[in-house]
Amino acid sequence: PGSLKLAVIPGDGIGQEVTAEALKVLEVAAPAGVKFEPTRYDLGAERYLATGEVLPDGVLEEIRAHDAILLGAVGGKPGDPNLPPGLLERGLLLRLRFELDHYVNLRPARIFPGVTSPLADPGDVDFVVVREGTEGPYTGNGGAIRVGTPAETATEVSITTAFGVERVVRDAFARAERRPRKKLTLIHKTNVLTYGGAVWSRIVKEVGAEHPDVTVDYLHIDAATIFMTTDPSRFDVIVTDNLFGDIITDLAAAVTGGIGLAASGNVNPDRTTPSMFEPVHGSAPDIAGQQKADPTAAILSAALLLDHLGHHASAATIEEAVIADLAGRAGAEPRRTAAVGDAIAARVAG
């Protein structure tokens, strides 16, 4: 303690604006005696377009020497001819997740009081998705031949290992143990992706045997999207692979009041590398620079960061401030990004 080294990567579009607010709140929330030392890294579309650099190895090594990473959003203007699709996602965001072995991609979903869900009757929703972060079809394994011709053939390989599944499943069970309902739902597509699915099923069964007090169930990803809209309160802890986790967490965010509120942590539970915290939303180039973005997801991600670093009380203070702010939003005029950050920071300051 004393000083916490924070790598700050605002990234692209609204990432810049929301990160500024998260930092603002983080500073006032820091526990007595703890000081954040932020170092800003200007990675993202702008740097790439100016220099051709995405994530230089030296920068990655510098980032590695921090206690945690706060990230805004990554991704340029869709269709920008100078930005090959996926280049920033693969080269920056996913590279960080993979190189820093962020195998737990943690995404809480909760309908806060006063927040409107698009569902007519969502019930009491409070669950957390533990998305695997280092395998599945996200590894970059794949290729294409005869590119651009009528004979083009492309492949992507989804990789699932017992090693990778076991560590994330253990984390998910540990979380389920700490929650009152103690329920864990595996989401996969074991009837079609039978090879990877068998690994998930077996390991959930094996680790589940060590947790007899945790109730375990299974849903195919397609059926899970149905329950997410008809009965989301059934979920407590969800554990799932990288791709299904990507999909179900955006849906969960929508159902719990929107992507403007959805926080996430890319966590290395072994603490051998800095974990990275970021809103689930993207860079939203269409509204960038207009102070229209909702910084709440970034601010809640900062709370996850504090929690991860062991500052549970400070994390709770941010969450309470956000809950209080949200309660006042219904019917009110939309505020500028900075005004939302100011209001939440003021509540945290007390």
Q: How far is the CB of 88 from its own copies (least distance, A)?
A: 8
- Compute how many other C-beta atoms are within 10 angstroms of the C-beta atom of residue 112: 20
List the end-to-end C-alpha distance of the chain, in Å, as a whole number. Answer: 23
Residues between 280 and 309 that touch its own copies (CB under 8 A): 282
Catalytic site residue from 103, 138, 236, 294: 138
- Please indicate whether residue 246 is annotated as part of the active site: yes
Instruction: Find out whether 201 and 241 touch, Cβ atoms under 8 Å.
Output: no
Q: Give the C-alpha separation, 84 to 35, whole Å.
A: 39
What are the two backbone dihedrals, phi and then psi, of residue 288, each rounded to the nearest 5 degrees? -65, 145
* Residue from 149, 210, 330, 331 binding its own copies (CB under 8 A): 149
Residues in contact with its own copies, shown as a per-residue x/- string from 36 to 75 under the rule CB under 8 A: ---------------------------------------x
Active site residue 205: no
189 annotated active-site: yes
Binding partner at 42 among its own copies, ligand IPM, none, C-beta below 5 to 8 Å by kind:
none
For residues 301 and 316, the answer to whether their CB atoms sit within 8 Å is no
Nearest distance in Å: CB 226, its own copies: 4
| Size of interface with its own copies, in residues (CB under 8 A) | 72
Mind giving me the DSSP string for 307-346?
HHTT-HHHHHHHHHHHHHHHHTTTTSPP--HHHHHHHHHH
List interacting residues with ligand IPM (CB under 6 A). Answer: 75, 89, 93-94, 191-192, 222, 246, 280
Of the pair 155, 191, the CB lying nearest ligand IPM is at 191
CA pair distance 257, 188, nearest whole angstrom: 25
| Closest to 103 in 3D by CA, of 221, 10, 241 | 241
Minimum distance from residue 148 beta carbon to its own copies (Å):
7
Given 189, 241, 307, 325, the catalytic residue: 189
Rounded least distance, CB 286 to its own copies, Å: 12
The Cβ of residue 333 has, within 10 Å, a number of other Cβ atoms equal to 6
Of residues 73, 169, 172, 243, which one binds its own copies by CB under 8 A? Answer: 243
**Which amino acids are annotated catalytic?**
138, 189, 222, 246, 250
